[in-house]
Structure formats: structure tokens, C-alpha cells
């Protein structure tokens, strides 16, 4: 079975998926949608769950540095509830503090052009998020 990693923004969804052994995460897509249109990312996740043998969805939970929940964390919690009604898969909220910074650093080291980095930032953040989750499960 595979794990799916999601980095949800106001108008984009970074998507990553693991291999069957849940050892390595790789990017799938950076889905763009209109702000407030939760049906588009929901439909994408439903399609992936129907296509791939996914048994867990790891949804980024962007808490503040002091551990409190802000606006984006509440958005992730709401999206989790929508997912739970739409797919029969375990959904885990996973602390994603600093994943965007880590993703930016990785992308800069790979020498991608700045414009391409911006277009793939949420996807790369989903990869970092999912890989952190997978690595934590190995311990």
C-alpha cells in the first residue's frame, strides 16, 4: 500500500506519493484551483485514491511556531473532514512547520530556475512532508 502526502494552500494543492514499501516520497503534481473551490482538490484526491492502492493520506497541518492553530491549520482541519466524507482511507494531520523552508532549500540546491521553483513549491513541500512522515514511521 502507498501513502499520499498533501500540502494544502489557499489556491493550490501539492501532492506527493510514496512507493509501495512506504520508503520514498516523490512529487506527483502541484494542482492549482480558485481560492475557496475545495471541490477541485477533493476530486483530485478521490481520483488518486481510486487509481492507486493508498491506505493513508498525510495532510499537512500548518501550526504556528508556538504550536497553536492559525487560519491555515483550521483550513486543513476542515479539508480533512471533507476528505473523510469522500474517501475510505485513514487521514492523518501532520505538523508541517518548516517544510516549505526545507523544500525551498532542496529546490535551490537542485539549481532549478526561480520561476520553476515557485510553480513546484507546494509539490516539493508535499514531498518533504510525506518523507518526514515516512521516516518517522521507520523509527
Backbone angles phi, psi at 76, to 5 degrees: -65, -40
Q: Which residues of 104-138 are buried (b: 16+ CB within 10 A; e: fewer)?
A: beebeeeeeeeeebeebbbbbbbbbbbbbbbeeee
The verdict on pTM exceeding 0.75 is yes
**Residue 130 vs residues 9, 22, 37, 85, 91: alpha-carbon distances, Å:** 16, 10, 24, 22, 13
pLDDT tens-place values along the chain, 139 residues long? 999 999 998 899 999 999 999 999 999 999 999 998 999 999 999 999 999 999 999 999 987 666 677 788 899 999 999 999 999 999 999 987 655 545 455 545 554 555 554 557 788 889 989 999 999 877 5
Domain CATH code at residue 98: 3.30.420.140
Domain boundaries, position 58: 2-138
Total domain count for the chain?
Answer: 1
- Rounded Cα–Cα distance for residues 117 and 50 (Å): 29
Amino acid at each position: 500500500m502507498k501513502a499520499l502526502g498533501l500540502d494544502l494552500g489557499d489556491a493550490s494543492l501539492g501532492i506527493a506519493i510514496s512507493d509501495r514499501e512506504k520508503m520514498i516520497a516523490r512529487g506527483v503534481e502541484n494542482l492549482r484551483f480558485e481560492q475557496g473551490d475545495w471541490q477541485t482538490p477533493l476530486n483530485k484526491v478521490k481520483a488518486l485514491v481510486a487509481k492507486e492502492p493508498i491506505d493513508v493520506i498525510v495532510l499537512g497541518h500548518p501550526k504556528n511556531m508556538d504550536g497553536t492553530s492559525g487560519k491555515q491549520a483550521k483550513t486543513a482541519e476542515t479539508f480533512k473532514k471533507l476528505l473523510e466524507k469522500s474517501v475510505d482511507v485513514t487521514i492523518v494531520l501532520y505538523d508541517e512547520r518548516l517544510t516549505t523552508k526545507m523544500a525551498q532549500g532542496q529546490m535551490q540546491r537542485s539549481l532549478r530556475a526561480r520561476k520553476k521553483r515557485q510553480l513546484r513549491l507546494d509539490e516539493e513541500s508535499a514531498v518533504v512532508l510525506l518523507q518526514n512522515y515516512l521516516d518517522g514511521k521507520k523509527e
